[in-house]
Amino acid sequence: MRRSFIRIFLAGILLSGTAAAAQPELPGGGPRVIPPPVEPIPGYADDSVLVRFRANATAGDKAAARSRLRGSVHREFAAVPGLEHIGLGKGLGVDKAIAVLSNLPFVEYAHPDYVLHVDGFPPDDEYFLEQWALNNTGQASAFGVFLPGTPDADIDWLEARDVADGTGVIVAVLDTGIDYRHTDIAANIWINTVEENGTAGVDDDANGYIDDVRGWDFVNDDPSPLDGHGHGTMVAGIMGALTDNTKGIAGIMPGGQLMALKIIDDTGEGLLSDAIEAIQYALDQGIRISNNSWGYTEILPEEVADHNALYDIMLAAQADDHLCVTAAGNTSGDTDVNPHYPSSFDLDNIISVGATDNTDALAWFSSYGLVSVDVSAPGDTIMSTHKLFAGLIDDYAWESGTSFSAPHVSGVSALILQFQPGWSYGQIRDHIMNTARVVPGLAGKSSTGAVLNADAALAGLPEQVVNIDVIPGSASNVVYPNKAGKLPVAVLGSAVFDATQVDPAKLRFGPAAAPTPEPVVISNVDGLHGDDTTARFPVQQTGILCNDTEVTLSGETYAGQLITGTDTIDATQCESGGCHAY
């Protein structure tokens, strides 16, 4: 009987030379990171204005001005006497409000509440200038590795970096392992805390793997998925390198975690069976995203391409709502004609990623296919972390291949999942593809003909649904109709959402809106996931009606992501003597 196996080959091309921790000096010394800041986008709030009254304005004058706007004071500023932030009545535009105020003799000035944007200064990581994939200003490599490119032929990560960082999201990295000793990624390696805090030599979490603290080495069947090749560490660094730590590179999801699953040996080859077991391991751990920068093209003549074990485990992953990001391959050919697996499987939970260079052109080595490739991402001359030099020194290298395109997509997928933890794999996949930047030269090379765009992907997200708790700590949530007071409402944190970074600006009881809340209080309300944010909303005497059954809160994070949350209330009880205030 003939025995057969399939070798899995990495989808990367190593360039000559690495940059070890004993880094060469830039010509003339000086800082490496000097791209220009991003220009702010003009705009202003459509429901408020800023107005400063003259010193001789009376209280009656100010009240009359607010009455004309059908508005109310949001804030006053003690440092600037007479300055008020006034909310506008429904239907009154900003232009009209300013015109009304400017004609009043006791108003010094009135103007829109302009939207401010950070200037987009890049992180201080030493080699960020080499990362054209994240921010391309047309720069050339300071080490002479690549020539000047086309400005903005990148994924617009710099514009998106302050919006999300992947906190709470774990990406499984199926590769040659990860050198988790590298100080630029060590803090972001996933840790199995049950095993870490358990007994050595015992399967503390009863998952079939003993002492799997950082993941598993499926090649050698041991709990040390250390990278002896370099490829997996480079893939990991693109996604999860620390940012703003003055060294190395910047990762796309520096707040996320990387699960090390070694399926390929130190020569760059692996077995399909190890890949299948690794995917099962990730599914058992509840991981939602995996990066798969590997593949194969040869199958036996009698084999049906879409009927094998790898297809089936990825189909099972689909049923578990798991997204498989895959490298399209480095065949320089059309994978619609000559498929590459797993990227060519016809499964909805696969994103197949081709490679572009720093001019937005399809990289010379990249596979392509109108049907079999979904989107492109930078993959030519990509700098990232590398396995330790001599096992002792942090190292960095440039490599090319669709292997390094895929983790750009995995990283941005993690940013989306951070903001939308309830999204399915299909919603994440479709959002990645729908927000990608169309490039005419990529027409026919993928189903989108477009390049991954992190900024558009995050800017296009709908409101994030968060958990709120009316009257924190109360099981019944009883509120009293026709009673004035202050109603406390907490925004609760979760494993993927930091509630201390929100501004809960508005609250509604059915159709009625509560006034602006008092300053928020940060505390751990529910005993879970760290601190929460509680705001006390003033309630007018007619604010809550007897038939109201729901409270809706809205606001935004400090990074600008809109949030919304609801909680049920019991407003059926009529007020009686001795009833407590909210």
The candidate with the shortest Cα–Cα distance to 167, out of 413, 346, 414, is 414
Active-site position among 182, 231, 322, 386: 231
Q: What is the pLDDT of residues 185-239, one digit of tens each?
A: 999 999 999 999 999 999 999 999 999 999 999 989 999 999 999 999 999 999 9
> If you average pLDDT over each of 196-200, 295-299, 314-318, which comes out highest?
196-200
Active-site position among 113, 156, 165, 175: 175
Question: In the annotation, is 307 catalytic?
Answer: no
Length of the chain: 582
Rounded CA-CA distance 486/514 in Å is: 10
Question: In the annotation, is 386 catalytic?
Answer: no
> What ranges make up the beta strands (E) of 444-527?
450-451, 464-465, 467-470, 485-492, 502-509, 512-513, 521-523
Phi, psi torsion values for 45, nearest 5 degrees: -65, 145
Q: What is the pLDDT of residues 117-134, one digit of tens each?
A: 323 356 788 888 899 999
Percent above pLDDT 90 for the chain: 43
pLDDT at 541: 56
Active-site position among 48, 403, 410, 446: 403
Q: What is the mean pLDDT of the chain?
A: 82
- Please give the model's pTM, rounded to 2 decimal places: 0.71
**Token pair for 371:** 């049907």
Estimate the share of the chain in helix, then strand, then coil, as percent rounded to the nearest 5.
Answer: 20, 30, 55
**Token pair for 570:** 């019991």
- Sign of torsion, CA 561 567 571 572? positive
Rounded CA-CA distance 236/180 in Å is: 10
Q: What is the pLDDT of residues 517-537, one digit of tens each?
A: 777 788 888 888 888 888 777
Residue 182: count of CB within 10 angstroms of its CB: 25
Q: Please report where in the chains the tokens 């000097």 appear, as a residue.
A: 34
pLDDT at 303: 54
Q: What is the pLDDT of residues 1-60, one digit of tens each?
A: 222 333 445 666 555 445 544 333 333 332 222 232 333 333 567 788 878 899 999 998
Question: In the annotation, is 374 catalytic?
Answer: no
